[in-house]
Each structure stands twice: as C-alpha cells, then as structure tokens.
Amino acid sequence: MPETTPAPRDERKGRALTAAAVCVLALVPILISPFPPSTDLPQHIAQVRLLERALADPAGPYVVQWLAPNNLIYAFLWLLWKVLPAGLVARAALVLIVLLWAAAIHGLGALRGRNAAAAAAASLLLFNQSFGWGFLNFLIGLPAFALWFAQTAGEPRRLSLKSWAALAGTSLLLYGSHALWFAAGGLWLVVIAFVRKPPLKVLAGRLSALLPGAIVSLVWYPRLSAARATAGFDVAPHWSPLFDRLASVKDSVIGGLRGPVGTVAFIFVLVWAGLAVWQNRRRLGGRVDRDLLAAAGFFLVVAAAAPDKFMNTIFFASRWFPAAFLFLLLALPAPSFRRLPARIVAVAAAAVLFIATAAAWHRYGSADLSGFRESLDALPASPRVLGLDLIKESDRVPDRPFLQLFAYAQVFRGGELNFSFAEHYSGLVAYRSKREAPWTPGLEWSGEKVQRRDFTFFDFVLVNGDEKDHTALRGFPELSAVTSIGKWRLYGVRR
C-alpha cells in the first residue's frame, strides 16, 4: 500500500525529481573517467569487435553463439559501437547500466507504492561489487528480473494468453541477460507461490512460460560444461565458510572505492533499515510490502547457500547480496528523521557516496593509469598483445581493476590477446575450437609468472608495473621500450 498521502501529481513529480537527482549524481564518476574501473568491461566490448570479425569471416577462428544466454548486453554494446567512437563505448555502457538499474529501483518503488526515499536509499547500491568487476551481462539481469517480479507478484489472477506471452517474453529477457537470472526467475515462482498461493492453473501457466528458455538451456549447458572443462577451467563448485561470506557483504553491496566512505555508506544502509523496523515496530506488518520482502529473503538465501565459485564463475554467491538489500530497502517503510524529510537524507547520502567515488576514480585514472592511453595510441593495427599486470591492486578502488585492461588493445586496434572472453564459451563470440596457447597459461591473473619465451609469441607487451619492474623488463634482449613514462608501458618484441 502507498506510504504517503500527497496529491498524485505532486507525488509523481517528487518521485521523478528524486530519481533524476540520484541518476545525475551516479553518472558523475562515469563521465569523468575515460577508463572506468570496471574489470571485465573491456573484454565485453572486445566481444563486439570479434562479432564483426566473425560475421566478416564465417569460416574463421570465431563462431557466434546466437542461442547462448548472457548475450542481451551485447545487443546494446553493438548499438553503442555503431553510433559512438570506440573511446566512448565503455562509459556509455556503464551509463546504460546505471540508468537501467535506477529505472528498475524507482519503477518498482512507484509500482508498489513505496516511498521515494526508500528508492533513493536503495540507489546507494548502484556501484556494487558486480559493477566494479564489470559483470555487465549479470548486471543487466536485475532490470529484467524487476519486470518479472512486477508480473508475478501481487494477488494471483487468471492467466490470460496476453499475460502468458508477456511472461514468456520476460523469461527470454532473463535468459538473454544471464543464465543465473533465468534460474532465479524460475525459483522465484516457487517462492512467491508459497507467499501468495495462486491457483494451480496459474502457477502451472507461469512455469510453462519458462519452457522456451529451458529448452534452449538443455542444449546449451552441456556444451558449456564440456567446452570449459576442455579449455582447462575449474568447473567444480567451491564453498567458503558462511562467516567468511557474511564478512564480505559490505564489499559486495557497496563497491566502487576503498576507504571509510564506503564503510559509512554501508552503515547508513543498515541504520536506515534498522530505523525503519524500530520506528514502525507496532505496525510493521501493515507497512511492509511482503512480496518485496519475500524477494529480499529469497536472494539472501541464495547468497548464503550458493557456492562461491562454480563453472569458473567467480562471486557466484555474493553477487546476489545487492539484490537482497535492494528489495529489502524497498520493502520497508522509510524511516522518519526529525528535521529533514527522509528523501533529502537519502539523496544527500547518495551524493556523498557518488562524489567520493568520482574523486577516487579521478585519482585512479590519473595515477594508476599513467601511461596507459599513450601505450594504446602507440599500437599499430591488428597487433598480437601480451598483457601483464604486475601491480594487481589499487589503493583507490577495490578488487582487481587492472586485470583485463589490456583488452582495450583489442577494442581500439583489433588483433589478438593472450586471453580473450572468446575462451569462456559463455558469451556471444567463442573460438571455433580450443585455442592452443604455447605461452604460460593464466598470465592475465599472474603476470609475474611470465617466461622470456612467452614474449616471442607476441608483437607487443603491455605492462602495468612499478619502476623496478620496468627496469627489469628493459634488460631483456627480447624487448624494446616503445613508451617510457608512467606505470603502463608498451614494449615491442624483437624477432
């Protein structure tokens, strides 16, 4: 039920202004960063270049996996690739993700009659761990699930042909975004059935809407499993102790930057939820949206029970924590603050977090990426590039922001890399057969394991290192320095 009583026009205007303010604030870090710290982002963009290469040469080394899941994001990336310069595609892709998430959060809030302040508080989760790691195909699944939730929550109704077609179309969106979201959509139907107890015919009809994606999944999944096992990836499930994964909740929910601001933002989210429960403790049952609360509990159980890694998919469990918190914040009534409206408090908290994120990303771009742009500009067309990250972590942003940056060489210049997402067999473009790599495997993760013979299989080596690393590299007779300034430097390989 709606939590506020202003006139509908004033309420819509206030909600729109709140959503617009949050979006503008969230876009600042992206717009000021030529290379935003989103780890897998360049590999996803490189898939679009490989798509054009595969279409131009149908008998070449690449095949297009049209029916595989996880491909929805590439439709958007392909469109951005066609209308924008290559240097703007990365930022445009993240702008798209932010806008879709904001639309999902504020749209759900409006649909369920929740206070706009709760949607603004939930917007603090935009730069979560999956965003920092660049899991674009997973991130785009949240808006698809919001559509799925809107069609399946609420009082059970007779399932018409029109509503079934809408469900079937949304289920294909879930499948196209990510296989995990498709599975989550199916499990959610079971969860909401316990909450709402729809007629058996309605439940059966909803489940049947999953059939198109399920049939394709039965064909695709065995091929993925076999391809990844053949490629040498670890496909077994791995669990960490429950306490360890709970200790990582903050990093999963609030990503984007290191330091105290992220911790304070997470504490703000917890205090917000705690105040909402405490202030409404005598009437909580009537002020909580039980469908949204059921979704929050559902994602929390998934995050607690799923493996940490499975089928070479990292953060398999923790990537669900942001969804759990998002639905929880929307489910609860907004807390009351004595001197300020809750909406102003939430937007102010978002402003602090996003401005701090913008400052951290700016320092990351100027210090951690020094020499990177110059190294890319020095590459010729279609080079074979070995990427080595010897620094690994940043003092400004969390996780491994440098891990896949060398893929921008393929984005801007084409050619080949020592590692490509085409080896994953879960994206749009894959190698027709297993690529035989004579160089040391896993150099994208462990650049320090490089051997001198590895250089000879490439034309250039793009290195992220400190001065000591570059001094050592200049001593190798196989390498000649192309650039000589910054942490990122380019070396040519002597034949």
Per-residue model confidence as pLDDT tens digits over 286-345: 899 999 999 999 999 999 888 887 766 788 889 999 999 999 999 999 999 988 899 999
Cα separation, 208 vs 190, whole angstroms: 13
Same domain, yes or no: 481 and 388: yes
Which of 360, 386, 402 delimits the end of a domain?
Answer: 360
Cα separation, 187 vs 207, whole angstroms: 10
Which of 314, 333, 360 delimits the end of a domain?
Answer: 360
Specify the pLDDT at position 452.
94
In a domain, 273, yes or no: yes
Same domain, yes or no: 303 and 439: no
Q: pLDDT tens across 61-100, in order? A: 999 998 888 899 999 999 999 999 999 999 999 999 999 9
For residue 316, which of 393, 240, 229, 219 has the smallest C-alpha distance?
Answer: 240
Which of 304, 338, 360 delimits the end of a domain?
Answer: 360
Specify the pLDDT at position 224.
67
Cα separation, 424 vs 444, whole angstroms: 14
Same domain, yes or no: 307 and 408: no
Specify the pLDDT at position 235.
66
For residue 11, which of 127, 110, 138 has the smallest C-alpha distance?
Answer: 110
Same domain, yes or no: 375 and 354: no
Specify the pLDDT at position 116.
94
Radius of gyration of the chain (CA): 24
Same domain, yes or no: 144 and 188: yes
In a domain, 3, yes or no: no
8-state DSSP, 201: H
Cα separation, 144 vs 182, whole angstroms: 10
Specify the pLDDT at position 309.
77
Three-state DSSP state, 101: helix
Cα separation, 228 vs 311, whole angstroms: 8
Same domain, yes or no: 336 and 380: no
In a domain, 365, yes or no: no
Cα separation, 204 vs 344, whole angstroms: 44
In a domain, 311, yes or no: yes
Same domain, yes or no: 306 and 419: no
In a domain, 31, yes or no: yes
Mean pLDDT of the chain: 91
Cα separation, 176 vs 68, whole angstroms: 8
Specify the pLDDT at position 231.
63
In a domain, 156, yes or no: yes
Instruction: Give the number of domains in the chain.
Output: 2
Same domain, yes or no: 38 and 114: yes
Same domain, yes or no: 269 and 409: no
In a domain, 366, yes or no: no
Specify the pLDDT at position 33.
96
Same domain, yes or no: 345 and 439: no
Phi, psi dihedral angles at 488 (to 5 degrees): -95, 125
Instruction: Look up tokens 């899991």; give the residue.
Output: 135
Same domain, yes or no: 15 and 114: yes
Cα separation, 297 vs 304, whole angstroms: 10
Domain ranges, residue 205:
8-360
At residue 142's C-alpha, the angle toward residues 224 and 249, to 5°, is 90
Same domain, yes or no: 134 and 34: yes
In a domain, 2, yes or no: no
Q: Over its length of 495 residues, how does the chain's per-residue pLDDT go in tens digits?
A: 445 444 477 778 889 999 999 999 999 999 999 999 999 999 999 999 999 999 999 999 999 998 888 899 999 999 999 999 999 999 999 999 999 999 999 999 999 999 999 999 999 999 999 999 999 999 999 999 999 999 999 877 788 889 999 999 999 999 999 999 999 999 999 999 998 988 899 999 999 999 988 888 887 777 766 666 666 666 677 788 877 777 789 989 998 788 899 999 999 999 999 999 999 999 998 899 999 999 999 999 999 888 887 766 788 889 999 999 999 999 999 999 988 899 999 999 999 999 999 999 999 999 999 999 999 999 999 999 999 999 999 999 998 999 999 999 999 999 999 999 998 877 899 998 888 899 999 999 999 999 999 999 999 999 999 999 999 999 999 999 999 999 999 999 997
